[in-house]
Structure 1
Amino acid sequence: MNTGRLLSHGEVSHTIKTIKTLKVLSFTRLLKINFFLLILFLASCFSENRKAESDGEIIPDFDSSIVSTKISESVGFDIEYSNNYKSLSVFNPWQKSKGVVYRYLLVNRGAPMPETDGYDEVIRIPVKNVVCLSTTHIGFISAIDKTESIKGISGSGFVYSSDLKDARDVGYEDDLDYELILSLQPDVVFAYNISGDAVKYINKLKDLGIKVVVVGEYLEDSPLAKAEWIKFFSAFFNLEKEACDYFNLVTEEYYSLKKLTDSVAEKPDVLVGMPWKDAWHLPGGNSYQAMLIADAGGNYLWKENSGRESFILDLESIYKKAGKASVWINPGQSASKEDMIETDERLNLFESFKKGQIFNNNKRITKGGGMDYWESGTVNPHLVLKDLIHIFHPSLLPEHNLFYYQRIR
């Protein structure tokens, strides 16, 4: 069977009749075969629709006078421009990856196709329908006012934005609903990869003719570097000017806030996180979380750690070093001190617990557990910084009302 074209009515009918005659096959096997045929049918239709769409109206050449090609903070991606197309590169997009590069060619709709050798995907832009497999992707796309383009999301219960109530839940990684994703006809699926294992489902999506782009913003080691990925997402919508304007305002506000703490004499010791079965995950000393604490005028007690990735200690080791910490932030999913004690009653021994100096980033949360911190917080690091400055040094921003954070009582 030639799976590279749309199956005719007669071919589908003949295949089904043949299957029915094979009595040695179990009922379960029959269902699997029929499902495979359906996927091939949908993939063929999807391919034809994409081809027809690419022959549409030509978008004018990119105006280099309003497009910034400079990536000032991020190290995980780069963009090169030419008339009617852009070349995007993503570097080492999962933990401990080295020498891994994904290259994507973005070509204006209707424009002549340039040389495509060496690219992992070729995508016509501006894209109209996308699927996001991470909530941080939603934050970036919403910041350039293209939320309506998001037709599919992963884990709808953990999405904060009320504007996405009509977006379909496509499942998670190894449990993705491929048939549903095909039916959404996305121009691109934005994916992410933690340890390299996601390559399996990424390749499966690509085998079905779906364009997949791997995003690695979470690996950046500074808040502004993570936020700069708004330029990456904007390239798919031809909205670089809007993204650059947004990022420039965020950057200006962030550095303005940081100056407030440059001369503070006393920096409170800061504890981060919560234990899980006696394993306490801490952010690396060179992580974006450690940088946020430092920029807000706090003393992260494990700042001497040289890693960007999280590391694990037991509760006793944590208590020895942070038992007298002044402030405790990001205690997991806890909404109250009672929640924390249910995890481990020894937590009430910490000085910050006794004095009520515990703050969590779950002020903006849905009933289903969708936290805006993980959605828009990445693209708004200035607002996160403002919260932390108010927590560590209330007198510096006395009129500020916490946006992402709240005191845990």
Structure 2
Amino acid sequence: MDNISDLLQRRYAIQQQLGKNAGRQTLLAHDRQENQQVVIKLLTFDHDFEWDDLKLFEREAETLKALSHPNIPRYLDFFEIDLPDAKQLALIQSYVEGRSLEDYLKAGRTFTEPEIKQLVKSLLKILKYLHGRKPPVIHRDIKPSNIILGDPCGICEAVRTGNSIGEIYLVDFDSVQTLATQEGRTVTVVGTYGYMPPEQFGGRAVPTSDVYGVGATAIALLTGKHPADLPQQDLRVQFEQAAHFPPTPSFVDWLTQMTEPDLKLRFLSAQAALEALEHPQFQTYEPAPIQTLPIPTLTIMGISLLQNLGMGCVTGLVFGGLMGTSIVPVWGTLAGAAFGVMAGMALGFVNGVVLGVETRLSFYPLTDARLHRQTMTNISTMLIGSLGFVLLAGSLVEPGMISRWILLAVGIPSVVIAGLAARMSGRGFAQWYESISRRK
């Protein structure tokens, strides 16, 4: 700390260094003028300096200056310092007394489910304030080391009495961003691995990105482990088996939706997450969100018929033409293709009607996309397969031995191909329905 200038030393008594990394220092000091403890953040323009650091530092100062919340450090001052061989920027902010959640985790402290819920409720209320700003303020680095648990004595009392766990403070806004800064500019990728949602790795951050950080922090408190050290499946953190205690099913569902890798499936706002936590009886974890307006029945039926008629015609045309070519070239090809188209249309029509009706009766509006895809695929395959075998069996009742072998040679592949085509049709229709249902 030798480079601390006389300008700082005249007013601030430096007490200790809280943190240091390339070009940046964080100091705890006593403000002699106001007789209070403060935090001083310094950015030095030296050989480690990068322009992105300046952008983030100035943005932090601007953001804190515009904020006024009892659980966020207060902006006090911002100024330049000229050193003999360099220049510094100093950001002065109020000091939050307490210990970070990271310190408690390293000390081996475990948190109960009610305590974790109190903590995340407080965090979500802070996020409601930040995201409600114009434009919304996104913290982008919510993690245990940036969350201070105030009033240590109150914490001990809370353990004994079951009362409030204490005040929660969100600090360290050096990664902060507003939605306005994203538009038409290159966004710096910041955050901490394990607490960052996938969209942040691409430089995109939205309010629900902070929601993910709160969920990941809750998982760290629940398990005592860094989320990046827990197993994953399809980018979803598998935390339940690593928990210090069996969490309630509703809390598991809530945490799962908080940390959904797909932001469309995550809670869309801190308010939505808070309401789901406070009223778990109304909470539902859905693999796909329900559409705002149900899709009209005629649209469902029309798309189902078109999807299946189209697939049936194409399949019948190709297979019928190939089979006709093997019997009588040219005329056989044309006759086979025509017959294939008619058969494909008939089977496609039946399949389309059944899928449309089943979707309208059992999946309206869509709440479980995975089950719908599986159901549509299975219905198509079984339906067309059954119809094909019935028709094949009926055609084999009268013909002679030679004709029967010809029918078997043609009919069995036809049934198999029709079943595969129907399977593709069912899946294609299900994917369309899932896609249109997600539109907000």
Bigger RCO (CA 8 Å, 6+ sep)? 1
TM-score (norm 1): 0.25
Query: In proportion to residue count, which structure has more helix?
Result: 2
When Rg is computed on C-alpha atoms for both structures, the one with the higher figure is 2
